[in-house]
């Protein structure tokens, strides 16, 4: 925290100058941005696009058409890194066809020294690498590459900047938007690379966050996700006692109508006060409220493994939070992240995780096979679990959750739900999908005019990952959240 600074007006002005200079020398062109990883990365890409548009680039979804390709990478698991590297490799042919093309890689993967060195040597057609904490200097690095015709590689994992005042480009007319409220992570869970590549925790000033949310609501955005690697440890400098619960309360007193989501929370920072603020502010028509969803990563159900992971809570504490949430907010959807095969995980530890799945009755889980990350303490731990054991446990975990999710979804059959229409289904173009307040997807027969609107749907069928329904105008029974 002590090193975190809000980007100075001078620095912002400097970047705007670089944007202008790039605009002058490039004079237009197209930008293609490929994003990997979490919502934070999606949000960072909106900022990169905002700056690119200010520099005169227009967005394209076809890499072969682009004059500038940006790959925003993730480093949380090896799989994400390998995918980003292989896709980047594929852009070599674009450069061969169009030598003036500029390719830059940003984000968490290139913020690691060993990856930076590797890409520098093995990918000579990559023009620049830009670390996560330096993303605000994108105009400057791009200008340098163009003006000096030289490759640039910038990372600095010791600085912690909050970039206010730079352009953000969001999907025009989209009913959903994301707002970053804090950056970085100080938790140092022993398996995780994030604290090394995203710097120290730093929170934006509440006034800046509230103003951004207010302006999104007044422009018609209906659902807003507040983002942070550890969102509930939001703590702006010099505002003693003001934390995430306070911020949510202030956002809920804004004029207008919207639903607020937030992610990702850490169980050690999930307070009863936060749950009380959620309980007091349900989403209702005509006002700003908080969604009935809580994503609370458990990671493991074994206290022994939680300790080795440096998570700083016990399974019992976690369960007490769940109990309180269910008591204060009936019907709340609880989801989690689970890591399978952390070093030293025994069959007994794994059973404790399965047991937690049954006891909590999650609406959904995001499960991951443990992946060794260079430089993290867990990568050095003895008793790394063999791949086949990890895979076998992973499949048992998925099977159990599939049954739990299906049972929970069955409750909706014969009931009605309110849901926000997202558009045509990605898997079946004749159907539409809508998302319910508890984050369930519903397939139904709709029409294009409904996209971005709330509808009431009567549920006729349910599987583990999907509800099936139809539009329901008449009073056909209870509406569930
Ligand atoms: N291996 C596997 N999963 C990981 N996660 C973070 N680091 C690792 C790793 N090294 C998972 C955690 C986290 C989610 C975003 O990714 O479950 O909550
Ligand atoms: Fe990684 Fe833990 Fe921070 Fe989440 S809280 S980003 S898992 S170190």
Give the 3-state DSSP-derived string for 317-348, with helices as H, strands as E and coil as C: HHHHHHHHHHHHCCCCEEEEEEEECCCCCCHH
**Rounded mean pLDDT, 86-91:** 94
pLDDT for position 2:
44
**Rounded mean pLDDT, 160-179:** 90
Nearest CA to ligand 2 atom 5: 187
Identify the nearest ligand to the CA of 265 by its number.
2
Residue pair 201/182 in contact by the 8 Å Cβ criterion: yes
Q: Give pLDDT tens digits for 445-458.
A: 999 899 989 999 99
Which of 383, 410, 437 is the last residue in one of the domains? 410
Instruction: Measure the CA–CA gap between 412 and 476, rounded to whole angstroms.
Output: 13
Co-location of 245 and 302 in the same domain: no
pLDDT at 1 over 70: no
Co-location of 17 and 144 in the same domain: yes
Q: Could you tell me the pTM of the whole model?
A: 0.94
Residues 6+ apart with CB under 8 A from 23: 54, 55, 56
The minimum-distance atom of ligand 2 relative to the CA of 266 is 5
What CATH number should be reported for the domain holding residue 17?
Answer: 3.40.50.12160
Nearest CA to ligand 1 atom 14: 337
What CATH number should be reported for the domain holding residue 232?
Answer: 3.30.750.210
For 189, the domain range is: 170-290
Sheet bearing 58-59, strands edge to edge: 58-59, 30-35, 68-73, 102-107, 128-130, 152-154
Q: In angstroms, what is the C-alpha Rg of the chain?
A: 23
Q: Give pLDDT tens digits for 417-476.
A: 999 999 999 888 889 999 998 999 999 999 989 998 999 999 999 999 999 999 997 777
Sheet bearing 223-227, strands edge to edge: 176-180, 223-227, 258-263, 288-290
Co-location of 15 and 111 in the same domain: yes
- Write out residues with Cβ below 6 Å of ligand 1: 76-77, 191-192, 297, 299, 337, 339, 368, 370-371, 373
pLDDT for position 161:
85
**Rounded mean pLDDT, 274-284:** 96
Co-location of 428 and 372 in the same domain: no
Residue 49 maps to a domain:
yes
pLDDT for position 3:
53
pLDDT for position 394:
98
Across the chain, mean pLDDT equals: 94
Instruction: Measure the CA–CA gap between 32 and 465, rounded to whole angstroms.
Output: 31
**Rounded mean pLDDT, 222-251:** 95
Domain count across the chain: 4
Question: Pick the residue with more confidence: 5 or 49?
Answer: 49
Identify the nearest ligand to the CA of 340 by its number.
1
Closest CA to 6 of 249, 264, 236, 212: 236
pLDDT for position 314:
98
């Amino acid at each position: 925290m002590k090193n975190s600074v809000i980007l100075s007006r001078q620095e912002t002005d400097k970047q705007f100058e670089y944007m202008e200079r790039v605009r002058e020398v490039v004079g237009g062109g197209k930008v293609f941005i490929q994003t990997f990883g979490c919502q934070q990365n999606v949000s960072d890409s909106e900022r990169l696009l905002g700056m690119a548009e200010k520099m005169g680039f227009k967005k394209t979804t076809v890499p072969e058409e682009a004059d500038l390709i940006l790959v925003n990478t993730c480093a949380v698991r090896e799989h994400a890194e390998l995918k980003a590297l292989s896709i980047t490799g594929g852009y070599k042919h674009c450069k061969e066809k169009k030598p003036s093309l500029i390719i830059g890689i940003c984000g968490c993967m290139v913020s690691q020294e060993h990856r930076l060195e590797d890409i520098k040597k093995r990918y000579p057609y990559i023009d620049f690498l830009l670390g996560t904490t330096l993303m605000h200097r994108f105009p400057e690095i791009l200008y340098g590459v163009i003006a000096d015709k030289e490759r640039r590689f910038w990372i600095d994992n010791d600085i912690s900047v909050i970039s206010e005042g730079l352009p953000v480009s969001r999907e025009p007319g989209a009913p959903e938007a994301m707002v970053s409220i804090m950056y970085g992570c100080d938790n140092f869970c022993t398996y995780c690379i994030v604290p090394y590549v995203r710097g120290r925790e730093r929170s934006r000033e509440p006034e800046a966050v509230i103003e951004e949310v207010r302006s999104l609501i007044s422009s018609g955005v209906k659902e807003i996700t507040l983002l942070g690697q550890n969102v509930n440890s939001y703590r702006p400098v010099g505002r003693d006692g003001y934390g995430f619960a306070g911020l949510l309360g202030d956002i809920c007193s804004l004029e207008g109508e919207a639903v607020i989501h937030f992610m990702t929370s850490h169980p050690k920072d999930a307070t009863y006060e936060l749950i009380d603020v959620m309980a007091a502010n349900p989403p209702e028509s005509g006002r700003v409220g908080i969604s009935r969803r809580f994503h609370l990563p458990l990671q493991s159900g074994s206290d022994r493994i939680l300790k080795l992971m440096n998570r700083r809570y016990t399974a019992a504490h976690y369960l007490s939070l769940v109990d309180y949430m269910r008591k204060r907010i009936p019907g709340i959807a609880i989801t989690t992240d689970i890591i399978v095969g952390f070093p030293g995980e025994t069959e007994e530890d794994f059973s404790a995780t399965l047991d937690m799945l049954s006891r909590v009755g999650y609406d959904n889980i995001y499960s991951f096979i443990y992946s060794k990350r260079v430089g993290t303490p867990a990568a050095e731990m003895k008793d790394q679990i063999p791949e086949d054991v990890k895979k076998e446990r992973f499949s048992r975990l998925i099977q159990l959750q599939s049954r739990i999710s299906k049972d929970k979804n069955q409750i909706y059959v014969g009931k009605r739900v309110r849901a926000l229409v997202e558009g045509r289904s990605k898997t079946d173009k004749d159907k539409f999908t809508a998302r319910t307040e508890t984050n369930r997807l519903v397939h139904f027969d709709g029409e294009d005019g409904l996209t971005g609107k709330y509808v009431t749907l009567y549920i006729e069928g349910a599987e583990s990952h999907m509800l099936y329904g139809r539009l329901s105008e008449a009073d056909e029974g209870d509406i569930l959240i």
